[in-house]
Amino acid sequence: MFLRHKKLVLIGVILVLFLLLVACNSIGNDSSNGNTRAGSTQQQGSIPAATAVATITPQLVTPKASGGSQGKGPITIFSPTPVPGGKAGSQQVVLGDRTLIINSASKQKGGSTNFTLIYLDLAVQNTSDKAIMNQPTFFQLMGLEGDIFDYQYNSSDNFYGPLAAHTTRSGTIVFQIPTAAASSLRLLYRPEIATETAIIFLGVS
């Protein structure tokens, strides 16, 4: 009799604890409407639970265009055109009066782990009958977070300068950027003719 009573008590305790466990597990979770409220871990502590989310059908608007037109944005290049006979990963960008050739893009660690050097092996071909410019300010890097970098730590000493008609300048330019920014990089090439601005995907090796 005593043993049977003890058994019932133990089963009861287990059931109570199980119910507590289920109850505790439900605290802080409210995924109605796919939204998340509270329950998130904080560096300085958790946050009290919040109220439920109401469900209102939003007004879906496809507005009528009442005029105007879009402008001329940069040329965006996501699928590089390889240089005929060039290195693997090379690409050429044909613009109105010039062709920009990216023979390679690579990175090395900088003077500290916080910084990375991005090497671009480039050539600029003047394909026009007039002289064009080739200046350091034409070359910038765009990365994650929206920031743009143009600090060049080094460059070939004869790379920059004007290009006479149908001539080419080749060389290497070296950017220094924060290491955390050295991924998903694009080259923002903005020459003296703004309509030739291009954003070029860089497969940095």
Partner 1 sequence: MTHYTRKILAICVALTVIAASTLLAIESIIGTQAQSASASGIGSLADYFVPGSFPWGTAFDSSGRVWVAMPGCDLAPSCPSSTPPGKLALFDPNALNWVTIVSLPAGYGQPIFVAVDHSGKVWFTMPATNSIGVYDPVSTTVTQWAVPTASAGPWGIVIDSKGTIWFTEHYGNQIGSFNPNSQTFHEVATPSPNSQPYGITVDASDNIWFTENNDSVALIGKYTNQGVLNEYKIRNGPTGGTGLTPHMITIDPNGNIWWSEGWVSAIGILNVAAAQPGTNNGVTEYQYTPSCGSCGSHASGISAGKQGLIWLDDSLQNTFGSFPIGGGSFSFYNSPTSGGHPHDGLNVDSQNRVWFDEEFANKLAEAIPSDPPTPTPTSTSTSTPTPPLGSGLGTDSFQRANQSLWGTASDGQTWGGDANSQSVFSISGNTGRVSNTGGTSYSAVLGPTAANAEVYATGSMSSFANSNFGDVLRWADGNNWYKAYIDGKSLFMQKKVNGVTTILASVPFAATAGTSYTIHFRAVGSTLTANVWASSGPEPGGWMVMASDSTLTSGYRGMRFLTQGGTAAVTSFLAKSL
Q: Within positions 36 to 65, which residues make up the interface with partner 1, using CB under 8 A?
A: 36-38, 40-51, 53-56, 58-65
Distance of closest approach, residue 199 Cβ to partner 1, in angstroms? 5
Q: For residues 74 and 89, which CB has a smaller minimum distance to partner 1 in the complex?
A: 74
| Cα→Cα distances 79→74, 93, 200, 202, 203, Å | 15, 11, 9, 10, 11
The answer to whether 189 and 101 have CB atoms below 8 angstroms apart is no
Which of the residues 97 through 156 are near partner 1 (CB under 8 A)?
Answer: 108-111, 114-115, 117, 135-137, 140, 142-156
Distance from C-alpha of 100 to C-alpha of 114, rounded to nearest angstrom: 30
94 near partner 1, rule: CB under 8 A: no
185 in contact with partner 1 (CB under 8 A): yes
Question: 7 — phi, psi (to 5°)?
Answer: -60, -45
Q: Is 161 in the site for partner 1 (CB under 8 A)?
A: yes
| Binding segment toward partner 1, per CB under 8 A, in 8-16, 83-91, 94-102, 124-132 | 8-16
Output the smallest distance, CB 131 to partner 1, in A.
16
Residue 190 as a binder of partner 1 (CB under 8 A): the answer is: yes
The yes or no reply on residue 164 touching partner 1 (CB under 8 A) is no
Q: Which stretch binds partner 1 (CB under 8 A): 82-90, 92-100, 124-132, 195-203?
A: 195-203
CB of 114 to partner 1, least distance (A): 7
Q: What does R_g of the chain's alpha carbons equal in angstroms?
A: 30
Q: What does each C-alpha distance from 59 to 52, 62, 64, 109, 188 come to in angstroms?
A: 21, 10, 15, 51, 39
CA dist., res. 179 & res. 56, Å (int) = 45
107 residue type, one letter: K
Shortest distance (Å) from residue 166 CB to partner 1: 21
